[in-house]
Amino acid sequence: MKKIAYIELDTHAELAANFFELTRDSPEFSLDFYFSEKIYKLLNIHEKNIFIADYSNLLEIIDNKKYDLIILGTVHRQFLFYRAICEKFETGIIVHNLNFTKASKWQLFKNIFKEDFKYRLKLFLKEGLLEAPEVYGKAKYLFGIDEQMSAKNNLKFLPIYFNQFNNKNIDNQIVKIVIPGIVSQARRDYFSFFEKLRKFKNIGKNYEIVFLGKAGKKELSELKRLKKEVPDFIKIKYFEEKIPQEKFDEIMKTADILYCPIQPETEFFSVKEIYGETKISGNIGDVIKYEKPAIFPEAYNSDPEFIVKENQDLPRQFSEMGNQKFDFNFYSKENVKNRFSAFMKSL
């Protein structure tokens, strides 16, 4: 039986939760999970193989346990710690920002001075920022969580997204469109969508548009204006505070369509990343988890049929997609679990 440790001390709690579910009661793998207190509280999973950990003594703990494989969910800081793990153990890292993994020491050093100077200086002086290339270079495996992106970039594809809800909206009179995520212009082009909504033509359909995330100050101001300016057949809903997970789930389950106005590019540590090419959008996980078809920008590259490229007649596209049926069976928990198990055994 392969003995595996999964470490998530920083950011991607949902991937850790998926990994836990896919390996729960596995007869093939023995799993231990090491979470920071922040991740532990977010996930609220209380099992005997879940441990609260930090960087101070975790290296010694995993050394004593003699794992066959260490999986790192996020490597975006504490690079000295992660370099030590990659040097000492067989390690796989889940890649979230592909270009960052390829950045040189000189590039990382120059980027310290571009923004967030105090935080980046701390990474440089105390957490070994310039060792980041060494960490990714010494890892035995680099995992991708998007199959197409993994194939193009020589990453090992880790099948980790699966359907967890299959509730349907039963109100056929209204097309319910949900835009999941923090309402910020930084990673999604909300302002262009606002203008499109103002110009929607009446084709005999009513729409409910839910901005499912806390709105930033500028975005909130625009949403308040938008709510007064859109035609009567459009209902706008938004939130001024962080949304509890239970409420987020309930609203997502009632959506007809997810709309994801993702920006073409973003940056991580001032390293440019391109959505659909070097960085996967978290909305991909939302689409699969909640079994909802989605509209993505034309520039975003993705294979599944239920991710549709936006066209110019958005009102009609919303209406037509609301009536379409899409096959999510490939991403059922059972199917993904079988592919996941086969993949893990191949390592």
Same-domain check for residues 155 and 252: no
**pLDDT per residue of the chain (347 residues) written in tens, 0 to 9:** 899 999 999 999 999 999 999 999 889 999 999 999 999 999 989 999 999 999 988 999 999 999 999 999 999 999 999 999 999 999 999 999 999 999 999 999 999 999 999 999 999 999 999 999 999 999 999 999 999 999 999 999 999 999 998 766 556 688 999 999 999 998 899 999 999 999 999 999 999 999 999 999 999 999 999 999 999 999 999 999 999 999 999 999 999 999 999 999 999 999 999 999 999 999 999 999 999 999 999 999 888 899 999 999 999 999 999 888 899 999 999 999 999 999 999 99
Q: What's the predicted TM-score (pTM) here?
A: 0.92
Pairing of strands 234-239, 206-214: parallel
Residue 57 counted as domain residue: yes
Q: How many domains does the chain have?
A: 2
Domain with residue 340: its CATH number is 3.40.50.2000
Q: Is residue 169 part of a domain?
A: no
Is residue 126 one of the residues assigned to a domain? yes
Residues 250 and 282 in one domain: yes
> What are the structure tokens assigned to 104, written together?
């040189």
Order of strands across the sheet that contains 294-296? 234-239, 206-214, 174-180, 257-259, 294-296, 307-309
Range of the domain at 86: 2-162+336-346
Q: For residue 273, is it within any domain?
A: yes
Is the same domain home to 136 and 202?
no
Instruction: Tell me whether residue 209 is in a domain.
Output: yes
Residues 151, 156, 161: CA angle, nearest 5 degrees: 90
What single-letter amino acid sits at 305?
Answer: E
Q: Quick check: is 168 in a domain?
A: no
Q: Say if residues 193 and 226 touch (Cβ distance below 8 Å).
A: no
